Chains A and B, each alone.
Chain A
Amino acid sequence: MQQLPLGVRLRERATFDAFVVSPANAHAVSRLQELADGGHGVLWLWGAQGTGRSHLLQAACAAAPVSNRVGYLPLLGLEASGEDLLEGAGSLDLLCLDDLDGRVGGRDFELAMFGAYRAIDEARHALVVAASAPPAALPWALPDLGSRCGAAEVFQLRPLDDAQQEQALRQRASARGLDLPEETLRYLLRRFPRDMTSLGRLLEQIDEASLSAQRRLTVPFVRAIIGDAAGDP
């Protein structure tokens, strides 16, 4: 008989503690922590999927003092309402805009963002942008905004190397209370796309299945849950 997984589970938290900082990303993370703490500046983080952009933005919100007003806007998930959402956002102590690239080029959106940018800059608050490209590579509709973003502190987030990735995966598994044997860990890293977003999704799937099946996370068990990538590329 299958046990139904309970609604209450250990959740992963997107915090700075849960983020594996590689030397290549150390500077970006340290600047972000300063801004989360109430510092002034404009940070532009860019990198491929799975390099931790969303995680870091959420971590900054979580790390900000409770008395500070902060806001996280995932622009990809809020397609219809970018301009409305940016209204008044310039008054926040820390504004985090995730997945900005899709919205660049839209004049109304950029006007709203320009307003928020100036308000934040004038109040000496903080703006953090995450995107898949640096500002200079995007098709800005407002050169005024493009130029200001181009002069921001731009950091490329680099993917983790193998050892760091192993560490990150282990950390995330244990945050979920999963006991992931060494072989299973290696199996996952060998067989699946090695970015943290994809690996996170796999963990989620495994977590779900293992709760109802009450089984040890052996390689055959995990393979049965998520299918073999070599089999269905």
Chain B
Amino acid sequence: MPTPLTALADTPVDSPLWTRCAQVLAAELPEAHFNTWVRPLQALESDGTLRLLAPNRFAVDWVNANLLTRIGEWLQAEHGAYAPIVTVLVGERRDPAPAAKSPAATALPATARGFGKPAVGIVIGARLNPDTTFETFVVGKSNQLAKAAAQQVGENPGTAYNPLFIYGGVGLGKTHLMHAVGHAIQARKPDARIAYVHSERFVSDMVKALQHNQMNEFKAAYRSLDALLIDDIQFFAGKERSQEEFFHTFNALLEGQQQVILTCDRYPKEVDGLEERLKSRFGWGLTVAIEPPELETCAAILKTKAEATHVTLSDEVALFIAKRIRSNVRELEGALRRVIAHSRFTGEPITLEFTKESLKDLLALQARLVTIENIMRVVAEYYKLRVADLLSPGRSRSLARPRQVAMALAKELTRHSLPEIGDAFGGRDHTTVLHACRRIKALREEDQRIAEDYLNLLRTLTA
């Protein structure tokens, strides 16, 4: 259950008293406690009280139970009889003009701000993401129908297709298309009121409005929109009260020819826990699917995205990434961002080799850890021996050398102590391990074959 939020507008930004108190707590508390409980607090000082605002009920309880006494003592010592009274409550300070911090907010002044007078609880949804427009949406067979429909809605909101229902798997660009329509509507009608709301947010805002007796404001705010973009409606599943409210909002908007766009991770009829009347209404407009893109589209997406950041990607590299990351577009772009960031950081050009290296752990999903047993098995196989040979007391060179290689690998690839490694190799002393590591290090410099063997094994074990 969300806890009521105290939102206090236009209050002083800093409390010097609290800043000093926090310094004292930082010196006294274990660092982790300080970062977990004190750093999220905000302070408001007025009329002899110091109000500490915490993000949630749990944090309030913890601070009350563990810190309040100490804070009170410190304030007493500093200010004696004039010490303010301390209270801890759930809340968030709204600093004057917080929106000015973000370029997106200034670029889209009319979008998704609070409607109605009181700022509490009825700020609808989030801003449109300035990066997700039709221009940055790469088309392929898998999504061209959805894009065409979305463009038409952008040109004729409320009349072309209402509602527009876009469905498809995660990370394929549903939210992108939805925002793109929002931008298109905004471009034609700059004062249009457009709200992008995730379904889960709709649910939690509604719960808050109910708690604060603000349902009328909540309804009015939603019904005054020119376009409502509701993302991931599968999150409405099983939430009957929210579905009820959404049903009425939805009807009111449709009647007023205000545009509604919905997305879902599956075809509306297939969402369990969604009322039938909602499912059928969702089908009144146009329902379009976005499929996972085919390989060529993936490569095209990568090249386009790279160009947008002034990076040229070779076909070879684009195809390589596209082939390896097949899950969805979001992760594809994530991989690309990673390669580009790595290249910028190291100053190296994006070659195929470089790309493989940058995505190594992503591709191989190297969550598995290298164990000593694993090392023994791979080394034994490589030298055509049995694991038992590596553990045996035998000291002939044909056994001792592979054993030393395995020990050196165990030291390099695991975090086991030298005595533990010695133990694993048939109960040998840690000085034997140390000797093996030194010996192999020296041999890798002198002996080409040992150097190669070692590298091959290293590659096998970490590939």
Contacts and interface: CB of A to CB of B under 8 A. Distances in A.
A87 B32 contact: no
A115 B437 CA distance: 50
B328 A147 contact: yes
A143 interface: yes
B226 interface: no
A190 B40 contact: no
B42 A69 contact: yes
A159 B415 contact: yes
Interface string A37-71: 00000000000111000100010011010110111
Nearest to A161: B412
Given A69-B39, A124-B102, A30 B345 contact: yes
Contacts of B22: 66
A124 to B, nearest CB: 6
B69 interface: no
Contacts of A85: 56, 58-59
B170 interface: yes
B152 interface: no
Contact of B419 (A13, A73, A91, A230): A230
Contacts of B419: 191, 229-230, 233
B169, B201, B328, B361: most-surrounded residue (chain A CB, <10 A): B361
B35 A71 contact: yes
Contact of B420 (A30, A144, A150, A193): A193
A150 B200 contact: no
B232 interface: yes
A152 interface: yes
A221 interface: no
Nearest to B92: A91
A48 B369 contact: yes
Contacts of A96: 35
Interface string A124-146: 10000000111011000001101
Interface stretch (B298-306, B308-316, B333-341, B391-399): B333-341
Contact of A84 (B35, B58, B338): B58
Contacts of A136: 331, 362, 365
Contact of A151 (B3, B333, B366): B333
Contacts, number: 169
Given A151-B337, A190-B430, 11 more contacts: A48-B369, A71-B55, A85-B56, A85-B58, A88-B92, A92-B55, A124-B102, A148-B171, A150-B330, A152-B334, A153-B334
Interface string A100-144: 000000000001001100100011100000001110110000011
Given A85-B58, A150-B331, A190-B430, A71 B171 contact: no
Contact of A13 (B31, B171, B327): B31
B308 to A, nearest CB: 16
B127 interface: yes
A43 B175 CA distance: 21
Nearest to A118: B198
A152 B337 CA distance: 9
B35 A48 contact: no
A50 to B, nearest CB: 6
Contact of B13 (A67, A72, A92, A233): A67
3 closest A-B pairs (Cβ-Cβ)? A151-B334, A88-B55, A72-B35
A137 B365 contact: yes
A86 B57 CA distance: 11
Contact of A73 (B3, B36, B104): B36
B265 interface: yes
B162 to A, nearest CB: 26
A195 B112 CA distance: 49
Contacts of A152: 334
Contacts of A156: 361, 366
A150 B39 contact: no
A197 B420 CA distance: 17
A9 to B, nearest CB: 12
Contacts of A190: 417-418, 430, 434
Interface string B91-115: 0100000000010100000000000
A146 B430 CA distance: 43
B29 to A, nearest CB: 11
A216 interface: no
B388 interface: no
B204 interface: yes
Nearest to A47: B361
B421 to A, nearest CB: 10
Contacts of B366: 134, 156
Contacts of A30: 345
Contacts of A91: 55, 92
B244 interface: no
A87 B4 CA distance: 11
B39 A14 contact: no
A176 interface: no
Interface in B325-366: 327-328, 330-331, 333-334, 337-338, 341-342, 345-346, 361-362, 365-366
A147 B168 CA distance: 14
8 contacts: A70-B39, A87-B3, A87-B58, A96-B35, A144-B170, A144-B232, A151-B333, A194-B416
B330 A48 contact: no
Contact of A71 (B3, B39, B346, B362): B39
B273 to A, nearest CB: 13
Contacts of B416: 193-194
Contacts of B434: 190
A72 B2 CA distance: 21
Contacts of B318: none
A58 B39 CA distance: 11
A192 B36 contact: no
A222 to B, nearest CB: 15
Interface string A148-183: 101111101001000000000000000000000000
Given A84-B58, A89-B56, A147-B328, A192 B417 contact: yes
A81 interface: yes
Interface string B20-39: 00100000000110011001
A44 B113 CA distance: 31
B200 A115 contact: yes
